[in-house]
Every structure is written in C-alpha cells, then in structure tokens.
Structure 1
Amino acid sequence: MYHKVTKEILAELTDVLNQVDPRAIESVIKEIDRAKKVYVVGVGRVLLSLEAMAKRLAHLGYEVYVVGQITEPAITESDLLIVGSGSGESLFPLMIAQKAHSFGAKVIHFGANPNSSMNDYTDLFVRIPVQTKLSLANEINSIQPMTSLFEQSLLLLGDIICLMIIKQKELVLADLWQYHANLE
C-alpha cells in the first residue's frame, strides 16, 4: 500500500504544481528581492509550510520574520508580507494582511480561492488550485484529508522559489552555510 499511496500523492502534487502560473512565481521572486524585510503569516499546517519557506529565504540572506515571533520588527512600505490561506477567509491571516496593507507593505497571497476577501489587501495572488473547505469550481480534488494538498504544495513552492533564486543569482550552495543556524 505504501508505494500506491506514494504514487497517488506525488501525482496530485505534480498536477497542482503544473497548474501554478510560472509568471506569478517570477513576480513573487521580484517582490522578495525588492523587499527590505519579508514577513510570513498563516495558521496551522499552512504556517508550518511558510515557516520552512522563511527559514530557507533566511539561508539565502534575506531578512525574514514570522508574524507574531517575539523579535518581529515593525512592517513598513519597504517590506513584503507573504500570506498563506487556501480559502483567503481565515481571520488571522486576513486581518494581518489588512494591517500590512494599511502600512503600505506589499502583500502576496498564496491561496486556492481567487475571489476571497483577501483580494482587497493583496498586490499579487498566486493560485494553488486545490480542494478547499469551500468546494469551489476548478479545484483539484484530493484523496488526502482536509487541506493536506494545499500545505504540501505551498511547502514545495517555497523550495521551488528558493531554488529559482539560487539559480537566477548563481549562488554557490556551499556559501549558504554561513546563514545556517550554528548554535545547534
């Protein structure tokens, strides 16, 4: 059963990632490069995926913060907020996006719902066309529980974005260790 389930999950991920707009990902990279500081916000397993992206961006030399961490500085118009919310209706990410927008920060939303309340505060929407709790049209159904496919896709997109940055900037992988935690 392990090999069967593995193939099914990998097929779902391949289908989803092939439907993400590559131009949107290029725009994400441009906004990350323009930003003085990058912030990420989400809840639950989405937050875990974004924390992994934040850590990897830090390894690439970016100044990155997870919203709510004790050392989080003030956001400004020079900064970028990356929001993860499949529905675009989760209260905490929605309110943080609204607040960041009010300070003039750029806001990027990774989500599945192109018609969410998040649109009012978002500069760029990256659609991950997966099944949500809203059961919208054009969603890719999943055999996995709840929103696992969204969280997995977001995690992989974070790594894809970081590898694209590495390739575009021609960074030397061995040099990135200088940014890795060393108090472990």
Structure 2
Amino acid sequence: MKFEAIRQEVVGEIGEAISLISGNEVEGLIDEIEKADKVFFIGVGRVLLSLKSVAKRLAHLGIKTVIVGEITEPAITDKDLLIVGSGSGESAIPLIIAEKAKKYNARVVHIGSNPDSSMKKFTDLFVRIPVTTKLDTQDAIKSIQPMTSLFEQSLLILGDIVALMMVRNKSIDIHSLWEYHANLE
C-alpha cells in the first residue's frame, strides 16, 4: 500500500471520531478541570501514553496534573479530579483506581467508548469517543488500524482540543506558555 492512501484513511478515521464527540461533554470536562485543585490521570498501555501527553499540555496551562502511580503522586482529595482513559471501561486497574478515588470523594471523568461499562458506577461525567475498542460495540466507528489505535489517537487529539479551548476561553497569550515548558532539556 502507498503511504498517501493509508494516510488518508487514518486521518479520515480520526476526523470522523473527533467530529462525533459531544461538545457538551467536552465543555463539562473543561469545567471539571477548571474546578479541580489537582487533576489526576489513569489509564494503561498506549492510552496512558496519550493521557500523559494530555497531562503535560494541561500543565503548560498552569493546571496541577498528576499521573497516578508516579513516585511524586500526592494524596487525592474531594477537591480533585481523576480523569480515566479506558475505551472499554472494563480495564481492571483504572476501575480499581476510580473506585478508590470515589472513596475520597474526588470527581471522576471517564473518557471512553462504552457508555454502559463497569466504570459507569464511579463516573461523574462520561466523555464518549465513539470508536471500536476491545469490545466491539455496534454504534462505534470501525477502524482499519490495529487494535485500539483510533481511540488512543482520538484521545490525544481531544486533549489538545481541550487545551486550545481553555487557552481561548481564558484569552491566554499562547507564546507566554513557553514559561511552563521544560527547560532542563
């Protein structure tokens, strides 16, 4: 296969997935982020890699972000938010962490594909990326890509869209954000 043909298919899938995310859900996510003292992130595998990128970008906006499991992780409180990335909503570690966060009265946002997952009972807000995950739900976008690539890509793009929305909502000078960029590189 030629690069151009595959590129068109992949970019088309991402565009379709992003276009089907609810604006109201995204605005709710931004509201939750802005209300929180700290924003914690949990996921596994490539989903966690996408979430780490989202956390880093939000840190550039001055948001206190924490990756669950990092050595410097502080305690979660009722003033904090846990963002769970799990397409299926059935991954064991995110489920356990979400349940524990609720015991400390933290808010929980689940970004996933399956609205009727086990994660539902721990979730205050669900943001749906309607793509096929390890559970092949009927109303989800089918992907030509391996495994859950489309979910992971869409999650990363969604995070960058959220960051840009926050920049514009707060009229932040985008060039001033470099002060938050790592400088020990």
User: What is the TM-score of this pair, normalised by structure 2?
Assistant: 0.98
> Post-superposition shift, 1:42?
0.2
> Post-superposition shift, 1:177?
1.0
Partner-residue secondary structure (3-state), 2:153: helix
What corresponds to 1:107 in structure 2? Answer: 108
Q: How far, CA to CA, are the matches of 2:133 and 2:103 in structure 1?
A: 28
Where do 5+ consecutive residues of structure 2 fail to align?
none
Matches within 5 A, 1:13-92: 13-92=14-93
Q: Kindly report the root-mean-square deviation, in angstroms, between the aligned alpha carbons of the 2 structures.
A: 0.5
Quote the sequence identity (%): 57
Where do 5+ consecutive residues of structure 1 fail to align?
none
> Post-superposition shift, 1:34?
0.2
Q: How far, CA to CA, are the matches of 1:23 and 1:106 in structure 2?
A: 18
Q: How far, CA to CA, are the matches of 1:134 and 1:97 in structure 2?
A: 20
> Post-superposition shift, 1:35?
0.1
What corresponds to 1:163 in structure 2? Answer: 164
What corresponds to 2:179 in structure 1? Answer: 178
What corresponds to 2:150 in structure 1? Answer: 149
Q: How far, CA to CA, are the matches of 2:179 and 2:15 in structure 1?
A: 33
Alpha-carbon displacement from aligned partner over 1:137-174 (angstroms, at most 9, x marks no partner): 10100000000000000000000000000000010111
Runs of 4+ displaced beyond 4 Å = none
What amino acid maps onto 1:163 in structure 2? L
What amino acid maps onto 2:102 in structure 1? H
Q: How far, CA to CA, are the matches of 2:11 and 2:183 in structure 1?
A: 33
Q: How far, CA to CA, are the matches of 2:182 and 2:102 in structure 1?
A: 31
> Post-superposition shift, 1:28?
0.4
> Post-superposition shift, 1:133?
1.3
